[in-house]
Structure 1
């Protein structure tokens, strides 16, 4: 199933919507409090929280924890130091590890488990609103895969901002 993630860059409270390919709104990613409290939420259209995302403090690399019903279900990390490529790690609470492969800076990447592609993420740069698609190929984990894609995108945005402020 194809989903669209639409960032509202000009919105005061920085939100993104996850929609079907037919533009039916399903989930809202609310980053209003992320800068202050290091957390944001993914809620459905009725306002029920589907997942919480918490930025883990005091780490050498960017780490986001994905929580559902108060329990950590995944940890998305990007190593601070790698020689030739970006290195993301996604560890699920059931012990599985997911790989993020592809061209991360151009937002063309896959989420894989043991060589099987679970989702493909593709970003279009030339639009007023940033939009990227998430093609979920593995249905049972679709919400988790959507949230992982949002986390990877958020970490990359943070890193982009850090590089601009360090110049």
Structure 2
């Protein structure tokens, strides 16, 4: 199924809605504003928390704990000179693609779990996520949120 994220411009703290391919609200994501480290909460349309994301403190590179009711994984940014590299701990998934251009995949073996692409030239950031398996939706969405947060941190530190 395809999902779409359009982040609002000029908001204090991240707050956005994830819509399905029919334009229906599916998930709501809210990032903490004055909390250190940065945390995110994903809720469903019934207001139930389906995932919590916590950035680990005192790490040179980003480490994010992603917790659902059934699984906890860690997304970890790896040291590299020219390209961003990430690893996923706690599940047999890996990442490939161009993270800075927001065009990448999460794979289980050679099968795609998530394909993400950014829509350029839009007001605010707009992303299309293709997640074939309903069971993987929340974890795949959380990984995309963490990578976006890490890229945003890089860009703000270079300005």
TM-score of the aligned structures, taking structure 1 as reference length? 0.86
Separation in structure 1 between the aligned mates of residue 19 and residue 151 of structure 2, nearest angstrom: 21
Residue of structure 2 in register with 1:23 after alignment? 23
Q: 1:8 and 1:72, CA in 2 relative to 1: closer, same or farther beyond 3 A?
A: same
Residue of structure 1 in register with 2:127 after alignment? 132
Structure 1 residue 45 displacement after superposition: 2.2
Secondary structure of the residue aligned to 2:140 is helix
Separation in structure 1 between the aligned mates of residue 92 and residue 42 of structure 2, nearest angstrom: 22
Instruction: Return 49-58 or 59-68, whichever deviates more.
Output: 59-68
Residue of structure 1 in register with 2:85 after alignment? 87
Separation in structure 1 between the aligned mates of residue 135 and residue 45 of structure 2, nearest angstrom: 21
RMSD between aligned residues: 1.7
Q: 1:5 and 1:55, CA in 2 relative to 1: closer, same or farther beyond 3 A?
A: same
Contact 1:89 / 1:97 at 8 angstroms: preserved in 2?
Answer: no
Q: Which runs of 5+ in 2 are unaligned?
A: none
Q: 1:34 and 1:53, CA in 2 relative to 1: closer, same or farther beyond 3 A?
A: farther
Task: Count matched residues.
Answer: 158
Q: 1:85 and 1:97, CA in 2 relative to 1: closer, same or farther beyond 3 A?
A: farther
* Consecutive aligned runs of 4 or more in structure 1 exceeding 6 Å deviation: none
Separation in structure 2 between the aligned mates of residue 52 and residue 107 of structure 1, nearest angstrom: 22
Contact 2:14 / 2:33 at 8 angstroms: preserved in 1?
Answer: no
Residue of structure 2 in register with 1:115 after alignment? 110
Residue of structure 1 in register with 2:59 after alignment? 59
Structure 1 residue 34 displacement after superposition: 4.4
**2:136 maps to which of 134, 141, 145:** 141
TM-score of the aligned structures, taking structure 2 as reference length? 0.90
Separation in structure 1 between the aligned mates of residue 48 and residue 140 of structure 2, nearest angstrom: 18
